[in-house]
Structure formats: structure tokens, C-alpha cells
């Protein structure tokens, strides 16, 4: 079964994470398809808005830990980095519908979306430190900026999750609805955007984003270099091994 579904209709490219049995954990192969689909959506003149969605029970458990262990991203051309560049530089309106857990990149990718609609079951977390890793997707800039430093520190240093109401209050999501209504709402909002003049949408998004764009690109590369190094260090090996073996990690040696 396709783990990434895409559908282009009425000016909206809808991309669906479709690996619910593994909580929509994202493998290198899935990042590759996501990056290619975003590139295709950007290039296709019939696409005027892009939606990224999961299932009403789960958005994404983040990086697939077993795949990361066996197949770590080695270079800037790795699928995960291609995906990060694609979402962070996406010129067209990018919307997300989020229900249930949104872990790691499941949360950090949302910092790059223009509109985010959440189910009241949405639970956001960025547990990079708990995995012996560091933030990615420029979340080390964007989380403190959006959430305020203290809340970002609770999320990024302690790895504390936050729920839909907190995400709404801090401006990470635009509206909360029952989980069964999220994907319909996000598609409706995307269609609304698709009916507007594309040149105005593109210019407005570019103007809102351009001042920070170089810093974001540079930070994604910096974080990626540190993250890549940390993946092979003892703390991450222990955290990932513990997840696969379904036990608590022991960081006393790292």
C-alpha cells in the first residue's frame, strides 16, 4: 500500500501520510516521495494550494526510528533534508491538518505551514533531547520565536508535549475542531485559497517570509550537521535501541 497518497483536485494538492499501523512514522523512502510530490506541486500550474494531512487518530510519530538506525541520512541530498528544504521554501500556500500525536518532525514541519487546523485530540511534542538528538527544521529558531523562550525550553529541553489548546493559544494552529472534521476543514480552506489570485498569494507569502528565509536555510543546514553527527553517538544509539527493544533508555554513560 502507498504510504504517501497524493491527489490533485480543484487546485489543491492533498498529500496524506498513510502508514497508520506505524503511527505515520516517516522513513527515508517516504521523505523522498514527500519531497518529490512537493516539488511536483510547486511546478504544476494547476496546483494553487498544498495540504499535508494524516489520519484522524495520528498525524505522525516523526522519523521512523528503526529506519533512521539502519539508514541514517548521510548528506544534504538525503531525502529528509530534501523534504526540509521543500517545506521551508515552499512558495505556494501550505496547509496542514493535525490530529492525535505529532512527534518530532510531525510538529516541527508545522512551523513552515501557513495554516494549521487541529483536532481536539492533537498532541504536539519535540522530544529530540530524550532521543540524544537536537532540534531540526529550524525549530531552534522558530519554536522560541513562536512560543516564547520558556515554553520552547519546556518543549525542546524537557521534551514536554503540549495539546491543541496550548498550540492554538501560542499561534501554532489556526482553529481546533473535532478530529473527524479536520481533513474536510483543511481541504475547504485550501479550496478557498485556490480560488484567490495565485500571483497575490505567492507575493504575500514571499513578503511575509523573505526577511527570515536566509537565516532559516542556514539554521536547517547547521542543525542537520549536528543532528547527523549525534545520530551515531552513544546517546542516540541507546535511545533508539531502547525504543526498538521497548525498554527505558539508560543515559548514564552518555
Residues lying near ligand COA in the complex (CB under 6 A): 22-23, 25, 61-66, 101, 103-104, 127, 131
Of 166, 173, 132, the residue nearest 150 (C-alpha) = 166
Shortest separation between residue 228's beta carbon and ligand COA, angstroms:
13
Q: Are strands 49-53 and 101-103 parallel, antiparallel or unpaired?
A: unpaired
Q: How many helices (H) and strands (E) does the chain have?
A: 11, 9
CB closer to ligand COA, 23 vs 82: 23
Shortest separation between residue 22's beta carbon and ligand COA, angstroms:
4
**Which cell is 125 given?**
511534542
Q: Are strands 162-163 and 123-125 parallel, antiparallel or unpaired?
A: antiparallel
CB closer to ligand COA, 61 vs 156: 61
CB closer to ligand COA, 82 vs 187: 82
Q: With beta carbons less than 8 A apart as the criterion, state whether 119 and 165 touch.
A: no
Q: Which residue is nearest to ligand COA (CB)?
A: 104
**How far is 190 from 204, CA to CA, in rounded Å?**
16
CB closer to ligand COA, 101 vs 179: 101
CB closer to ligand COA, 3 vs 114: 3
**How far is 135 from 175, CA to CA, in rounded Å?**
26
Shortest separation between residue 47's beta carbon and ligand COA, angstroms:
29
Shortest separation between residue 105's beta carbon and ligand COA, angstroms:
6
Q: Between the CA of residue 166 and those of 118, 130, 186, 214, what are the distances in Å?
A: 11, 21, 20, 29
Shortest separation between residue 128's beta carbon and ligand COA, angstroms:
6
CB closer to ligand COA, 93 vs 228: 228
Query: Positive or negative, the Cα torsion across 18, 175, 159, 153?
Result: positive
Shortest separation between residue 173's beta carbon and ligand COA, angstroms:
18
Amino acid at each position: 500500500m502507498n504510504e504517501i497518497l497524493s491527489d490533485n483536485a480543484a487546485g489543491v494538492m492533498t498529500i496524506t501520510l498513510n502508514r497508520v499501523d506505524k503511527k505515520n512514522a516517516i522513513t527515508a523512502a517516504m521523505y523522498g516521495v514527500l519531497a518529490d510530490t512537493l516539488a511536483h506541486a510547486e511546478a504544476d500550474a494547476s496546483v494553487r494550494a498544498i495540504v499535508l494531512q494524516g489520519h484522524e487518530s495520528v498525524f505522525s510519530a516523526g522519523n521512523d526510528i528503526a529506519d533512521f538506525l539502519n539508514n541514517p541520512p548521510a548528506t544534504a541530498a538525503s531525502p529528509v533534508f530534501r523534504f526540509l528544504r521543500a517545506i521551508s521554501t515552499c512558495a505556494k500556500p501550505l496547509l496542514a491538518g493535525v490530529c492525535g500525536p505529532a512527534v518530532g518532525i510531525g510538529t516541527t514541519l508545522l512551523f513552515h505551514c501557513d495554516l494549521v487546523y487541529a483536532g481536539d485530540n492533537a498532541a504536539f511534542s519535540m522530544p529530540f533531547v530524550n532521543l540524544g538528538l537536537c532540534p531540526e527544521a529550524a525549530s531552534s529558531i522558530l519554536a522560541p520565536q513562536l512560543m516564547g523562550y520558556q515554553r520552547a525550553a519546556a518543549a525542546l529541553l524537557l521534551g514536554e508535549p503540549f495539546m491543541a489548546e496550548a498550540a492554538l493559544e501560542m499561534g501554532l494552529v489556526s482553529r481546533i475542531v473535532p478530529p473527524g472534521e479536520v481533513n474536510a476543514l483543511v481541504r475547504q480552506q485550501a479550496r478557498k485559497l485556490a480560488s484567490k489570485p495565485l500571483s497575490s498569494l505567492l507575493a504575500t507569502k514571499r513578503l511575509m517570509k523573505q526577511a527570515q528565509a536566509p537565516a532559516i536555510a542556514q539554521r536547517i543546514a547547521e542543525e542537520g550537521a549536528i543532528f547527523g553527527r549525534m545520530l551515531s553517538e552513544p546517546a542516540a544509539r541507546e535511545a533508539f535501541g531502547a525504543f526498538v527493544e521497548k525498554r527505558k533508555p539508560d543515559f548514564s554513560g552518555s
